[in-house]
Amino acid sequence: MQQIELMAPAGNFESLQAALDNGADSVYFGVEQLNMRARASINFTLDDLPEISKRCKAKHVRTYLTLNTIIYDHDLSIVKTLVRKAKEANITAVIAMDQAVIACARALGLEVHISTQINITNIETVKFYAMFADTMVLSRELSLRQIKKITEAIEKEQIKGPSGNLVEIEVFGHGALCMAVSGKCYMSLHSQNSSANRGACKQNCRKKYTVIDQETGFEMELDNEYIMSPKDLCTIDILDQVAESGIKVLKIEGRGRAPEYVASVIKCYRDAIDSLENKTYDKEKIVSWMQELEKVYNRGFWNGYYLGQKLGEWSNGSGSHATQKKVYIGKGVHFYTKAKIGEFKIDAYDVSIGDTILVTGPTTGAKEMEVNEMLVNDEKLLTGSKGDTITIPLEFRIRPSDKLYKIVENKVEV
C-alpha cells in the first residue's frame, strides 16, 4: 500500500511554514480572489508565488494553487495571469472546477487537479476528467465503500491522466464541513448577496435558527438550534480504513485557520500516516492524537459520511470547542544566535516559568514550547509583566515580526 500524501492548507506564510515544519507532503493555497477562501484568510499575492515555490522545493513539498471558484467572463484575464505566473514560479498544479481554468492550465502544460466542487461520484465521471487531470477530489458525501469501488476500477481499467500515470484519488481528511453538497452552497448569496461559490461565504449556517411553519405560524421544537452547522470532519481514528479505500492524497481543510491549527493537525496526521506505514497505528496513539486535535479550533468531531452515515452530525454551539486558546502577550525583539536566546517585549498580561508559549511569524511558522528558564529585564524572576523585556532559551530563531502568545485552558460549554 502506497503511503498517503498529506496535503496541508496555507492561508498565509505563517501557516505555510507551519505545514512545512510539521511534515506536509504538499500544500494548497489561494492567490488574490479566485479561490474558495477569498475572504476567510489573508490570501497570497502574485508576487508571493516565487517565495512559496522556493520554500516548498527546499523541503521537496508539492505546491497546489486553488483556482476553484465559479468563473465569469470578466475573470478570464485574471485566470490567465494567475496560471501563467504559477507556471513561471514552478507551482506543481492548479486545483480547478471550471473548464476555462482547466483548459488554460492544460494549454500551458500545468498539471490539473479536479476540485471537490465538481462533485465526482462515479467511475465514468473519473474517466471523463482523466482527459484533463491526474488527481481528482471526490465528493465529500461518498462512503469509503463507494470510494474503494472507484479506486479499484481505476486500477482494473488502467485509467490514466495526461501524465500517463494512473489517476490519483484525493479525499478530505480533517476540518470544517459545509452543510451543502460538497460545499456548493447558495445560502450566503441569497441572504447577503455574497457568493460562497466565489469564495465569499458569510457562514450563515453557523448561526442559530428557528423553524416556523409559514401557514400556521407554528414554531417547530428543535433539539439543536445549530441545525445547519456540521461538526468538523476527523478521520484520524479510522485512518486505516481510509487508507484501505485506495486513496492517494489526504487533504486537511483549514486555509482560514491559525498557524498553530495547521501545525498541530499536520503533526498528528503525519504521525498517524507514518504509523500506518510502520504498522504501529493503534488505539493508544489514536487517543493521544485526538487529545492534541481537540486543543486547537474545532466544532466537535465526526467521521463524515465515510462509514455510510446518511445524515450529518451537527455542532451544538457557536465557535470553537477547542480545549486550549492563545492569549497575545507580546512580540519578538531580537535573537542571539550564538547563545540561542530569544528576546521579547511584553505588551499585555503576564508570562511565567512553567507557562506554555506559542511564537508565530511569516518565517518562524508556529512554534510551541514550555518556559523553563527566563530572564526578566536581565534578572532571574518567575514572572514577566506588561512593559517588561524577557529573554528565553530557544531551539529556533525568532524575528521582530514574530508574535508571542500564552496557551491557556479554554472553558467551553458544550
One DSSP character per residue, 311-377 reads: SPPBPSSSS---SEEEEEEEEEEEEETTTTEEEEEE-SS-EETT-EEEEEETTTEEEEEE----EET
Query: What's the CATH number where 100 sits?
Result: 3.20.20.70
Higher pLDDT, 161 or 177: 161
Specify whether 193 is located in the same domain as 270: no
- Which parts of 61-164 fold into alpha helices (H)? 76-88, 99-107, 123-129, 144-157
Name the nearest CA neighbour of 263 among 35, 92, 19, 69.
19
Structure confidence by residue, pLDDT tens digits, 2-14: 689 999 999 999 9
**Counted domains in the chain:** 3
Specify whether 141 is located in the same domain as 76: yes
Instruction: pLDDT band for 306, please (50, 70, 90 cuts).
Output: very high
Structure confidence by residue, pLDDT tens digits, 359-390: 999 999 999 999 999 999 999 999 999 999 99
Specify whether 104 is located in the same domain as 170: yes
Mode of pairing for the β-strands spanning 93-96 and 111-114:
parallel
Q: Would 319 be classed as within a structural domain?
A: no
Could you tell me how many residues make up the chain?
414
Specify whether 283 is located in the same domain as 202: no
- 3-state secondary structure (DSSP) of residue 378: coil
Does the pTM exceed 0.85?
yes
**To the nearest whole number, what is the mean pLDDT of the chain?**
89
Specify whether 119 is located in the same domain as 197: no
Q: Would 243 be classed as within a structural domain?
A: yes
Specify whether 173 is located in the same domain as 294: yes
Residue 38 and residue 30 in contact, taking contact as beta carbons nearer than 8 Å: yes
- Note down the domain range covering 367: 324-409
390: amino acid identity, one letter: I
Instruction: Give the sign of the dihedral formed by CA 156, CA 157, CA 158, CA 163.
Output: negative
Structure confidence by residue, pLDDT tens digits, 194-247: 665 555 666 666 566 666 767 777 765 555 555 566 788 999 999 999 999 999
Specify whether 245 is located in the same domain as 101: yes
Residue 35 and residue 69 in contact, taking contact as beta carbons nearer than 8 Å: yes
The single-letter DSSP state of residue 216 is T
When mean pLDDT is compared across 29-33, 102-106, 137-141, 159-163, the lowest value belongs to 29-33
Query: What's the CATH number where 364 sits?
Result: 2.40.30.10
Specify whether 391 is located in the same domain as 296: no
- 3-state secondary structure (DSSP) of residue 275: helix
Specify whether 251 is located in the same domain as 382: no
* pLDDT in the model for residue 300: 86
Specify whether 75 is located in the same domain as 199: no
Structure confidence by residue, pLDDT tens digits, 23-54: 999 999 999 776 555 555 567 999 999 999 99
